[in-house]
Chains A and B, each alone.
Chain A
């Protein structure tokens, strides 16, 4: 081994040690999960996604406080979506099953970004097709935009032939049982990944 190479090894070892120290520092705060513990993106402490005030498909006003003690999984989508939204909801059904008895402490929330077409009766029928415990929330066009903005969630109406579709963020947001936004799950992740992170959050006070 040349001197230069040995130096390089020392630098690498030093970096690894520094990383370990940083991780250990993270561990010492018992009220926070360890960095890298979640399968999804840990967004604990972000300044957005604090709350919402929307109407559910039974015409009842809902805020985050209604679901205290449960993990809330919130997803922005629309009913006329043939692919991603039903896939996300199918995964939510699987996730709930994987959680077993803890599945009762999961609240799935579907916020429509297409209130123009997604009326309460359609939303109710849509949720019932997956799981009657799932709640679809909606509001008028302006407040839909404000709500999505407050979650840094993107959506845009795009014409397609004679109709239109919605481009939209396909992230699922997870709130812990105290109502704090903690994790953003990606669409590509599996029901197992989702169940893993939800189970972790259910353990937090």
Chain B
């Protein structure tokens, strides 16, 4: 089951581990850190629209197995939401480069409470973006009990949210990618939460549109993400895309970069 370790390679690694004098504040190799050489000169805006190219994948509807009086007998599967104009909703876009300057405009929302509602046995919004320092406000607007369960790398949460109540969850660490949100009682309920240290992220709306303002102007690495397929490995020629749905872009001070329609081939969804 998987490769066997190579004894001599392992020994070499062990020797370096034992002889290493690790500095107290050495970086642990987490996300890509903006090196001292990276300069950000001013602010820019990035916008665009993710559009599905091809037939949307057929998703079978969900049949609630509990509290049907409230939840209904059937509800739409929200894992791939395509708008009337082929816009791909709930696509997540965020900056991977870390230690970025934060524009003053974002200071006023730094301690905001962002609402995640349990309503009609769904999570609203289906994909939520929040930053470290803000508070996640989980509400139960239904007349039945819910428990909200979040399984992130750092944010782990499973509390009962009684009928009509709200629970505040302080957000103190970022997640490398969106984390699943579930309810154990109504096990078809599913949502996603994106937690970042900076405000440079967006979740596309019903038309597939996103706009991120006041980005530090310079070279930035972005990650796209859609819940069915993970990163969107697009073939868009202007930007340097990689196989895991990341792209790098250089923005200039005062620039409003419109990526226009970013075509997402429907074939990416096959098999998922």
The finding on whether chains A and B are genuine partners in a shared complex, rather than unrelated, reads no
Interface residues of chain A, those whose CB is within 8 Å of chain B, are: none
Interface residues of chain B, those whose CB is within 8 Å of chain A, are: none
